[in-house]
Structure 1
């Protein structure tokens, strides 16, 4: 009853102060700007992960559904509200984390393919093909993971005949900094013309190949350290989950001291994990005109 009266009093004070805290004439532009920024970030993440056809709201639905399911399972198994809340937060972040991991894997997998794409374009241009035909021929000769995307470009060109629109759609579907360099080089060659396209593509191929080799070597050396750090963060929570399955563990973690320990551990884990990622992060190449 005391808790209920306290909640009612807090709600009354909040309602009394609401005219000054949230005036009726306050502009909704900052809120709209924040919503637009979140939608733009979700759109960029989906593009990088290879889901350019998925709407950002689907990602929001997936996060909410994951949070609800995880919270329900955690509460049923442990009957601890604080663990259910933490499980909901972790599960809500899981789809975003999975998309980021997928985007990183795609970026690493494609990193060694772009020099081959440049070499194939050089061969097609030297054989006398036009730029649209040279790009469209990659649907048969490019590395297997990229053929479908270049096939879509070829179909767009056949349907519309408009190079600028088709190359923009190709750039959006690839969503890769290395691909941006190639696409913008081809766009400039198409719009400006000139005879230096082949030397530029060869220089670009050599530059991408050298950068990919150096980055792969550094990432291979960092992988062991990063794996050990992730294991050090996850292991205590596995032990906590196992202890919470026992009745005496549930009773201990339901006390104020137990809740404080869990929240403190969660804060330390988040700070340690974010610090580890920031220390070991390599500067990623930025996209061109994206």
Structure 2
């Protein structure tokens, strides 16, 4: 007790001295700057012009329609829960898949684009002209995000125009390329070709490593989805026609079995998705998505 009393006295005296001297630590949390939401970032990366409200509205309507259809086919209200939940999660998964595909195609295009920029600069063309050449005749994956780049360069300059490209793609690799190109534009000289060549080599290595990881994880993801979906497809087929299966699952016991199975299945899918997801590289050069 003596030790506790001594410690309490010491803490009290320290806080009293800090308060009198104006050094009392603030208990308020400093508000962190919030970037765009994760759904906004996914829509941006996927190249979809819908708003988050539109996506959520279509998702809810689709879930209700699918649930009603399954209910009408089987006559069992509990059977409509899992298909409805899947439809609720499907747009998010499709958006993420489309965003990953689009971002990956842009990443794979950057080494060739940087090689094209480096060759143009070595031949004596300014960096701004080399970047415009990429937007017009470069890899197809980059022509969409870089469309109208020449007009933006003439209006606001090279650096803001390139930053607009980075904001359109929403990819950390593109952020890095844009920052390096802006630095090369500011420094000029022979550093441009050296920096562009090193960047193209590093991005090419990253793309190759990402492809190997995706190939190794593809089989596990397909097996997990098949294991989840197959029992429910079989159950819908069995209960779609009159018989003992439809009679059992129409009763309270069947509803309990369906509910427990749905909970276990959804937890399993969530765990598999979480464990198999490759962490996204943070956009340290741009605002982060708010969770």
- Quick one: which of 177, 200, 205 aligns to 2:200? 205
Higher mean displacement: 228-237 or 243-252 = 243-252
Return the alpha-carbon distance in structure 1 between the equivalents of residues 112 and 181 of structure 2. 16
Structure 2's unaligned 5+ residue stretches are 1-30, 287-291
Q: Which has the higher relative contact order, 1 or 2, with Cα contacts under 8 A spaced 6 or more apart?
A: 2
Contact 2:105 2:141 in 1 (8 A): no
1:122-271 superposed matches below 5 A: 122-158=118-154, 160-191=155-186, 193=188, 195-248=190-243, 249-271=245-267
Deviation, 1:184, is: 1.3
CA contact (8 A) 2:239 2:246 kept: yes
In structure 2, how many angstroms separate the alpha carbons of the residues matched to 1:254 and 1:191?
72
Cα deviation, residue 195, structure 1: 4.0
Q: CA deviation at 1:43?
A: 0.7
CA RMSD of aligned residues (A): 2.3
CA distance in 2, matches of 1:194, 1:263: 67
Deviations 1:181-209 (CA, angstroms, capped at 9, x unpaired): 10111123334556422211111111111
User: What stretches of structure 1 of length at least 5 have no aligned partner?
Assistant: 1-32
Deviation string 1:90-135 (CA, Å, 9 cap, x unpaired) is 2122111111111222233333221111111112222333333222
2:285 counterpart of 1:289: yes
Partner Cα separation in structure 1 for residue 132 and residue 200 of structure 2: 19
Contact 2:172 2:285 in 1 (8 A): no
Cα shift at 1:57: 1.9
Matched position secondary structure for 1:151: coil
2:42: which partner in 1?
Answer: 45
TM-score, normalised with respect to structure 2: 0.78
Higher helix share: 1
Q: Does the Cα contact within 8 Å between 2:108 and 2:207 map onto a contact in 1? A: yes
TM alignment of 1:272-283, pairs within 5 A = 272-283=268-279
Partner of 2:24: none
Contact 1:135 1:150 in 2 (8 A): no
How many pairs does the alignment contain?
Answer: 253
Bigger radius of gyration: 2
